[in-house]
Structure 1
Amino acid sequence: MMVALRFHAFGVVLFAWVLQVVSGASCPSSIFCGDIGNLTYPFTDARHPDCGILVIYGCDEKEPEAKKTIKNNNVWFDIVKLDEGNTIIIRDDKLHDLLLQRDCETFNHKVTFTVSTPLAYSHVKYSIGILRCNHALNDPPHNSVSNSTLCKNETLYSFTYRDVDIKGCSMKKLPTSTEVSQSQLNSTDLFNVITDEIVIQIQLTSDCSTCHYVHGGQCRLDNTGKLYCYTGKSTKTLLIVACASGAGALGVVIVLSWCIRRRFYNNKNPTHQIIEMFLNTHGHLAANRYSYPEIKKATNSFRNKLGQGGYGSVYKGRLHDGSLVAVKLLSDSKGNGEEFINEVASISVTSHVNIVSLLGFCLEGSKRALIYKYMPNGSLEKFIYEEKDPLKLSLQLSCKTIYNIAIGVARGLEYLHRGCNTKILHFDIKPHNILLDEDFCPKISDFGLAKICPQKESIVSLLGTRGTAGYIAPEVFSRNFGGVSHKSDVYSYGMMVLEMVGGRMNNNVEVECSSEIYFPHWVYKRLEQNQEPRLRSIKNETDKAMIRKLIIVSLWCIQTDPSNRPAMSKVVDMMEGSIESLQIPPKPYLSSPPRSSTDHNTHTSQTTHPSEY
C-alpha cells in the first residue's frame, strides 16, 4: 500500500513536470534570495540551476537571514554580499583563521575562488602584492614597502601592482577590502590591510554575453566543453518531447514499482527491505552504489584495518580511479538498518568543509558498507590519549592546531544545526568521531545516531539514551534536566574540547580517581586560580590565551541547564572574539556519567517524530 502511495505521488510530480515543460516555462528575470537581495544573471539558486552560471545555495530558506553559500573548486564559501556589476563578496574561512592568529602563513595563502570557463572568468577586485624574502634585498622592487610586520626571519615587501620574480623570494597576491595606496602600506600593519571578505568580479566571455544579452539565451557547455547558446524550442516541439518523456518515464515507474514490490514481498531479510525502500524513495540523497565484490577489491580483501567502532570496522582502500578511501563495514547484528539510513540521509544533504563526505555505499544482502574519503591523520582521539598511540610516539598537537580543530568542529556543528536545509542533531560528538585530513582540518563523522528534524523544531523526542558515556548531555539520560535539542550537541562539544585542552598529557596531577582528572571540576578549579593546564604544547603567552579561551567557552557549553548553554553560532562568535569579552561561567554542578578506559561503544535507541516546541 505504501509503495502504491509513493508512486502515485511520483506520478503527480511527473504530470506536473510535463505541464511545466509544455507551458514553456522560462527562467525568471530575477530570483529572491533573502537578505542578499535579488539574483540576476550570471547568478541563480538551487531551484533554477540552468538559469545562471554560479549557483547560490540557501535562497529557499524561510528565514531571510539564513546563511547563503556557494561552491567553487570543491570548497564552500559563505556569501557576505552581492554588489552591482556581477560582483560577489565571499568569506574565506582559512584566511580568516590565519588573520585571527596573526599567522605568517597568511602571506603564503592562495585565494582558491576562481572562475575560468568558456562562459565566464573572475578576478579579485582589490588586492596587494606581498613579496616574502629570506633576506633583505639590496635592490627591492620599485615602489615597494619594506614592511615592519615580523615573520620569522623573513623580510616582507608590499606593493599595489606588478608581479615580480626575484630569486630567494616568493610572491603572493592577497585580497583587500578596498583599493590601498602605497602610502597606506607604508604606515599600516599588513594584518590589518588583508581581509578574509574577498571581493570577486565575475566577467562573462564575449560569446556568453552575446548569447544572453543579445539573443536572450542561456550559456551552456556541450559534452566537449564548448559553449553553445540555448534559446529553447517551439511549443509544438516541447509538447512532443514532454509527452514522449512522460510516457517513457511512466513506463519506467510501472516496471520499477513491480520490481520493488516483488523484492519487498519476496526478500526474507527485513533490514534489507527497510533500507532498499529508503534508497528507492530517497534516491536523490544516495551517493554512488558499489557491489560487495567492488568493495572487497578496493580494500584488498579488507587487509588494512584502520580501526574498530561501535557499528563495525573501518578499512583503508583505493577506488578504481585511484582515490584513497576509508570503508566502514557495518556489523550485521547492529539495529534494523537505522544507522545505515542515518548516515546516508544525513551526510547526503550536507556539504561543508568540516563535515565528512560520503563517496558511496554498498548494500548487498546482509552486507552494508559506507565509503568516505580517506583522512591521513585518522581520528582526533589518538592525539589526545597516549594509550591510543600504539607506537608511543607522543603525538603532540600545538595550541594553535588544537584551537583550529576546536573552531572547525564548532563551525561544522553550526552548519548542521542551522546551515543546511534540515536541522541535523549528531548525538555522538567525541574525539573518536572527529577525523583529521592532511592539514589537520577536522571533519565530523559517524552519523549513525543522528536525528534529522525540521528547522522549526527545537525540542525532539527520544526513546531511551543515545550517545557515548562521558559526552552525553544530562537531559539526554534524564529528561528532568530539560528537553533534548541542539543544545545536547553543544554539551558533547564542550566535553570534547575540555579533553582536548586538558588531555591525557598531564600526568603530574594527583587526584583520588585518575580517570576523572580532566573533568569539569578540576578544570574549573584551575581556571578560578588563573592556572592553565600544564600542557607541554603551551610555549608562550599567546598559547596561554588560546587555551584559556577554549576552557571558558567549553565550560559555558557544559552548563547543566540547556537554556544556559550557547548555540553553536554563539560558540563560533566567542571563539573568534577577544578573550577579554568572555565572562567566567557558573561552575558546572553535574557532569556526564564517567567513561571507563574501554568505553567506546555507543548506546542507541529508536527515535520518534520531533515533538512540538
Structure 2
Amino acid sequence: MACVSLFAFFLLSHLFLLHSAEEVNKTLQNCSPFQCGKFGTIGFPFTNISQPFSFLLPIKCDRIPPTIHLGLSRGLYEVINISYSYTSTKQSTRIKDLLLSDDLRSQKCESLTNFTIPNSPIISFKLTTPSLTLFKCSRTLGITSPRNFKYASCGDYNLYYSHLNDNPPSFSSKCSIIQLPKKERSDNDTLFSLLSAEFNLEVHVSDACSRCYGGAGQCVLDKNGKFQCAIAEKDVAVVSITITLSTGIGVLIVCCFWRKFSSIKIINFWKKKTLTHKSVEAFLRNHEPHVIRRYKYSEIKSMTKSFKNKLGQGGYGCVYKGQLQDGCFVAVKVLKESKGNGEEFINEVASISRTSHVNIVTLKGFCSEGSKRALIYELMPNGSLEKFIYKGNPSNSNHQLGWETLYKISIGIARGLEYLHRGCNTQILHFDIKPHNILLDENFFPKISDFGLAKICPREKSIISIVGARGTTGYIAPEVFCRNFGGISHKSDVYSYGMMVLEMVGGRKNVDVSVDFTSEIYFPHWIYKHLELNEELGLPGFLKERDEESARKMIIVSLWCIQTNPSNRPSMSRVVEMLEGSLNSLQIPPKPFLFSPPRRSPMESSTVMVSIQ
C-alpha cells in the first residue's frame, strides 16, 4: 500500500513538473533557421527573436539595412555581410559601428573611445580587421611627436599615431591607449582617413553549446548568467513523461528490493550521471594513462589521515600532506567540487601524464569519483618559490635564497619549459608560469607544477587559438589578452618566465606601488635604466663577483623574454644557452614599453587593461 501511495505521489508531482516545463519552454529562444534578406537563410547562433537571458545574436532583418546587437553598450550595428556555414562553429560577419561612423564623418576626435569586443565562456568574438593604435596624451605633458608618428589635436589632449605600423616609442604612463579598426588602404595618412567604422568579426560558439544545439537542445542563460542546455519544447513533454514512468517503476523496484539497495548508493548513482562527471569519465576512459594509478576517494582520506595536515590552499582547492603505503610522502591536491566543469582536472592529467623530466613535478596518481577529484604529486618539502623571493614575506624570514641558488633555479625552470615546448611527443604550453607554480625540493631544486591551464598542441603548429585570456595578471603575455600584438605560441610562456625571473632578481613584485619613488614602481624599467647606464644594480646580497655576473645574466635574459613582440623573444632553448653562456656575449635588448596592471587576484582573466610606461 505504501508503495502504491508513493507511486501516486511521484506521478502527480511529475505531471506538475511537466506543466511547469511546458510553461517555461514557451519563453525559450527559437533557434530555427530563418530568412534574412540578401543574406539568405541563416541560423544558430543568429536569431530573429529578441529574448532575455539568451546569448544568441538577434538580427533585425526587416530593417534596411539589417542591424545586429552584440551585447555592447554602443547599441546596434549595421550588418554588411554574413558568411554563414551550418557545419562550422565559427561564423564570419562584417558589421559597421554606427556611432563610430558618425564620429568619423563629423571628425570629432574628442568622441573616440577604445574599441572593445565582448567575450564570454559561451560565445566569443575575434576582430580579424587590422587596427590602429592611438596614444591619448594630455597637452600639459608636452610630448614631441616621435619619428614616423603624427598627432591630431583634440581639445585638451593630442592623439599620437603612426600609419607605418612602427613599434610605439616609450610614451608617458599618463597616456592611455585607444585601438580602433583601420582601413586596409588609405589615400593619405591623416587620422580620419586611416580609421574605419567597418570591421570583420569572427563569431565562435563554445563546444558545449554546439553539442547542446546539435542534440536538439537550446543554449540559454539563466537569471544568474550561467549556461544551461534546455531541451526543446516538444522533447520536454516526451522526456518528462518518460521520467515520470521510469521514476514510478523505479519507486516500485525500490519498494520491492529496499533491503538490497541502500539509499546512499542510489544517491551516488544519480550524482555520477551529471554532465561534468560524464565528460571527465569519458576522457579518463579514452586517455587514462596506465602508468599513473587511479585511487578511490576512501584511499585519499586514508593517505591524508582524513585531511589532517593542510599544506596550503588556493582557488583550485586545498593541498594536504599524505603518505602512500610504500612510505613515500606526497602532496594531495583536493579540487573544489564547484571548480569549473572538470576542464582543469582533465588538462592536468592529460598534460602532466605525457611528461618525464627532472624539472617537472611528478604526478603519482589521481582520484575521480563522482564529484570528488584529487591529484597526487611527489612532495616538495620547501613548497613554492614565492615564499622565498619576496622581501617582507614572513615565510622567508629565516631563509633568504642566495644568488647562486636563484641562478640555478632560473636555469632549472628554463630547462623544464624547454622540455615542455620541444622535448615531449607533443608541444605543451603551460600558460601559468609564476612563482606560486614553481615547487622546490629539499635542495631547492625547482620543478614546474599546476598544469590546469595548459594546452596541448602539435609541435608543428606554431600559432594556436584559444578563447579568452588565460593565466595570472602580471605574468600574461600581451598577445594572450590582445591579439593585435601577435599570435599565441610557446613565446607566451617565455614572457611569463621573464616576468617571474625579474621578480626573483628584484625580490619584489614587478609592479609595486608601495615604493618611495615613482620611477621604481615598475621594476623592469627601473632595472633596465641601471643596466643601460652601466650603473651599480643596487641589489643586496652580492658576496662575490660571480654573484653579480649571474644577476646581470638573469636580468638581460629576462628583458629579452618580456619583449612586446613575440618574434623578438628568444625560445627557451636559446634562454638556456644565454644563461649558461658568457655575460660578455649578451646584448642589452630594447626597452620594454608595455606592462600588465598591478595584480588584484590570482585568477584567469578575460579582460586585462594595458598601460604604457
TM-score normalised to structure 2 length: 0.53
1:604 deviates by 7.2
Matched, 1:341 2:346: yes
**Aligned: 1:288 with 2:293:** yes
Cross-structure match for 2:466: 462
CA apart distance, 1:587? 0.1
Alignment of 1:404-443 (within 5 A): 404-443=408-447
2:309 paired residue number: 304
2:394 is aligned to 389
- What is the rounded CA distance, in whole Å, between the counterparts of 1:604 and 1:337 in structure 2? 19
Query: Displacement of 1:285 after TM fit?
Result: 5.7
Q: 555-564 vs 267-276, which deviates more? A: 267-276
Contact residue 346 and residue 424 of structure 1 kept, 8 A:
yes
Match of 1:510 among 505, 510, 516: 516
Q: In 2, Cα distance between the equivalents of 1:466 and 1:530? A: 37
- Counterpart contact for 1:355–1:443, Cα < 8 Å: yes
For 2:341 and 2:548, the matched residues in 1 are separated by 48
Contact 1:382 1:395 in 2 (8 A): no
Q: Judging changes above 3 Å, is the alpha-carbon distance between structure 1 residues 388 and 366 closer, same or farther for their aligned structure 2 residues?
A: farther
Q: How does 1:524-539 map to 2 (within 5 A)?
A: 524-539=528-543
User: Relative to structure 1, is the Cα distance of residues 448 and 439 closer, same or farther in structure 2, using a 3 angstrom cutoff?
Assistant: same
- The Cα shift of 1:529 comes to 2.7
Distance of aligned partners of 1:404 and 1:276 in 2 relative to their CA distance in 1, 3 Å threshold: same
* Residues 324-339 of structure 1: pairs in structure 2 closer than 5 A: 324-339=329-344
Q: What residue identity is the alignment partner of 2:503?
A: E
The residue number in structure 2 matching 1:356 is 361
Residue 271 of structure 1 pairs with residue 284 of structure 2: no
Distance 2:313 2:391 in 1: 18
Instruction: Classify 1:334/1:266 alpha carbon distance in 2 versus 1 (closer, same or farther; 3 Å).
Output: closer
Could you tell me which residue of structure 1 aligns to residue 566 of structure 2? 562
8 Å contact from structure 2 (residues 351, 456) kept in 1 = yes
**Aligned equivalent of 1:477:** 481
Deviations 1:35-67 (A, max 9, x none): xxxxxxxxxxxxxxxxxxxxxxxxxxxxxxxxx
* Equivalent pair of 1:279/1:286 in contact (CA under 8 Å): no
Residue 602 of structure 1 is matched in structure 2 by 604
**d(CA) in 2 for partners of 1:583, 1:387:** 33
- Note the C-alpha offset of 1:375: 0.2
Look up the SS of the partner of 1:284 in the other structure: coil
2:384–2:438 Cα contact (<8 Å) kept: yes
Residue identity in the other structure for 2:295: Y
Distance (whole Å) between structure 2 residues aligned to residue 449 and residue 417 of structure 1: 15
Shift in Å at residue 281 of structure 1?
A: 0.4
Whether the aligned pair in 1 keeps the contact of 2:359 and 2:412 (CA below 8 Å) is: yes
CA–CA separation in structure 2 for the residues paired with 1:584 and 1:513: 20
Structure 1 residue 304, shift from structure 2 partner: 1.3
Cα offset, 1:309, TM superposition: 2.2
CA distance in 1, matches of 2:279, 2:366: 16
Residues 469, 604 of structure 2: 8 Å contact kept: no
Contact conserved, 1:310 with 1:602, CA < 8 A, in 2? no
AA in 2 matched with 1:600: P
Matches of 2:453 and 2:308 in 1, distance apart? 28
Q: Which has the higher contact order (CA 8 A, sep 6+)?
A: 2
1:453 equivalent to 2:485? Answer: no
Question: Partner amino acid for 1:290?
Answer: Y
Q: Which residue of 2 aligns with 1:368?
A: 373
Q: Cα offset for 1:331?
A: 1.1
List gaps (5 residues or longer) in structure 2: 1-267, 608-613
- Pick from 487, 491, 495 the counterpart of residue 491 of structure 1: 495
CA distance in 2, matches of 1:336, 1:389: 36
What is the SS of the residue equivalent to 2:273?
coil
Distance in 1 (CA, whole Å) between partners of 2:533 and 2:308 is: 51
Is structure 2 residue 551 aligned with structure 1 residue 547?
Answer: yes
- C-alpha displacement of 1:543: 0.5
Letter matched to residue 585 of structure 2? S
Q: Distance in 2 between matches of 1:480 and 1:604?
A: 15
Q: Distance in 2 between matches of 1:304 and 1:531?
A: 48
Report the equivalent of 2:192.
none
Q: Is the 8 A contact 2:481 2:606 kept in 1?
A: no
Q: CA deviation at 1:532?
A: 4.9
- For 2:309 and 2:271, how far apart are their aligned partners in 1? 36
Asked if structure 2 preserves the Cα contact closer than 8 Å seen for 1:472 and 1:593, the reply is no
Q: Deviations over 1:466-510 (max 9, x none)?
A: 000000000001001000000000000000000000113999963
State the one-letter code of the partner of 1:368: R
Q: Give the Cα separation in 2 of the matches to 1:397 and 1:543.
A: 12
- Matched with 1:6 is none
Q: Quick one: distance in 2 between partners of 1:458 and 1:359?
A: 31
Cα drift, residue 534 of structure 1: 3.1
Offset from partner CA, 1:147-172 (integer Å, 9 cap, x none):
xxxxxxxxxxxxxxxxxxxxxxxxxx
1: CA distance, partners of 2:571 / 2:374: 33
Deviation, structure 1 residue 328 = 0.5
Change (3 A) 1:509 1:578: farther
One-letter amino acid of the structure 1 residue matched with residue 518 of structure 2: E
Change (3 A) 1:543 1:338: same
CA gap of 1:334–1:477, structure 2 versus 1, over 3 A, is: same
Task: Give matches, 1:39-78, under 5 Å.
Answer: none
Q: Which 5+ residue runs of structure 1 have no aligned equivalent?
A: 1-262, 606-613
Task: Indicate which of 573, 584, 590 corresponds to 1:580.
Answer: 584
Question: In the alignment, is the contact (CA less than 8 A) between 1:412 and 1:444 conserved in 2?
Answer: yes
Q: 1:409 to 1:264 in 2, by over 3 A?
A: farther
Pair 604,425 (structure 1): closer, same or farther in 2 beyond 3 Å: farther
Q: 3-state DSSP class of the match of 2:313?
A: strand
SS at match of 2:526: helix
1:316 maps to 321
C-alpha distance in 2 between matches for 1:285 and 1:579: 45
Which secondary structure state, in structure 1, belongs to the residue aligned with residue 498 of structure 2? helix
Residues in 2 aligned to 1:559 and 1:283: alpha-carbon distance in whole angstroms = 39
Call closer, same or farther: CA 1:271–1:463 in 2, change over 3 Å. Answer: same
Q: Highest CA radius of gyration, 1 or 2?
A: 2
CA RMSD of aligned residues (A): 2.3
SS class of match (2:595): coil
8 Å contact kept, 2:272–2:370: no
Distance in 2 separating the partners of 1:298 and 1:600: 29
TM-score normalised by structure 1 residue count: 0.53
- State the shift of 1:517 in Å: 4.3
Residue 550 of structure 1: SS of its match in structure 2? helix
Paired residue type of 1:371: I
**% identical aligned pairs:** 67
Which amino acid is 1:450 matched to?
A: A
The letter of the residue matching 1:393 is: S
Q: Distance in 1 between matches of 2:538 and 2:399?
A: 16
What letter corresponds to residue 512 of structure 1 in structure 2? T
Could you tell me which amino acid in structure 2 is paired with residue 283 of structure 1?
Answer: E
